[in-house]
Amino acid sequence: MSTDIKENTAVYLKDLNKTYPGNPPVEALSNVTLQVSKGEFIGIIGASGSGKSTLLHVVGTLTRPTTGSLFIDGIDTSNMSDGELSAVRSRNIGFIFQDFFLISGFSAKENVENGLLYSGVNGKERTRRAIEILERVGLSHRINHRPNEMSGGEQQRVAIARALVHEPTFILADEPTGNLDSVNTKAIMDLLTNLNREGTTLILITHDLEVANIAPRKVTLKDGQIESDSSTQIENNLV
């Protein structure tokens, strides 16, 4: 089946199901099939309980689907060990979280370096690339500052830098503006849009319609299933 995936597909979800054990079992995702091409900016909208957190976790390889396959950059992650999945995350995925998750006590530079820590890149090279990326997101004046010395918007930009520094296949953003005010929200969304224009693949998951509308392609999730997909050229009829 992997031969049916196009060359420039970043992420391909095929008939994904995720059921949590329980009495009765909870079907968080059912029959989700989705393809994201490289260079796309896709916004996945869902209310609380729609399965968007589960989708985020599955796409980010943080949890395995019950059935179905997940292809990242053409690679089937279905039977990967924990170590192999970690390798995929360290090279192919960049995460942005609502709560930033910067390590306090580390400077912005050190936080961004963490994005390369598990990719086998040596110290000097990590520092060089971290500084480069921080300049790219407009934080060269904050390189040695700690998170508690920065505003929320700046912290999220550090997190974005960290997500970018290892040049991943795609960036996975979970409510990136959820903890920001409207001014910072606009700034972050502008930054993300610019990054996408420069070629970064973006998957953004949110419940905020206004935020999701900024993405060129919108997919809505309801009750664990894809309700709609604004992409007019749906390429998932591959069989």
Partner 1 sequence: MGIGIFSLTVTLILGIVFSRSLVSRIKRKSPSNNLFIEPTLDTSTNVMVEEKPTSRPRKLPKSKVGFLDTLRVGVSGIKTRKLRSALSALGITIGIAALIGVLGLSASGSADLMKSLDALGTNLLTIRAGEGFGQNQSELPSTAPKMIGRINPVYEVSTVSKVPGSVYQNDLIDDGRTKGIAIFAVDLNLIRAQRGTINQGSYLSEITAKYPTVVLGSVAAERLGISRVSTEQMIWLGNKWFTVIGILDPLPLAADLDRGALIGYEIAAELLGHDGNIDVIYVRALPEYIEDVRSVMATTVNPENPEEVQVSRASDVLQARVAADNTFTNLFVGLGAVSLLVGGIGIANVMVIAVIERRNEIGLRRALGATKFHIATQFITESLSLSLIGGGAGVLSGILITSIYATTRDWTIVVPLYSVSGGLLASLIIGGLAGFYPAIRAANMPPTEALRTR
| Site track 6-25 with partner 1 (rule: CB under 8 A), x = hit | -------------xxx----
Quote the least distance from Cβ 61 to partner 1, whole Å. Answer: 9
Sign of the Cα torsion 120, 124, 125, 130 reads positive
CA dist., res. 137 & res. 171, Å (int): 15
CA dist., res. 65 & res. 87, Å (int): 18
CA separation, residue 205 to residues 131, 190, 209 (Å): 28, 16, 11
Radius of gyration of the CA atoms of the chain, in A? 18
Quote the least distance from Cβ 228 to partner 1, whole Å. Answer: 26
Local structure of 195: helix, strand or coil: helix
Site for partner 1 in 59-98 (CB under 8 A): 60, 62-64, 66-67, 75-84, 86-91, 93, 95, 97
| Shorter beta-carbon distance to partner 1: residue 60 or 217 | 60
Quote the least distance from Cβ 192 to partner 1, whole Å. Answer: 18
**Footprint of partner 1 (CB under 8 A):** 19-21, 57, 60, 62-64, 66-67, 75-84, 86-91, 93, 95, 97, 99, 101, 103-106, 114-115, 117-120, 122-123, 162
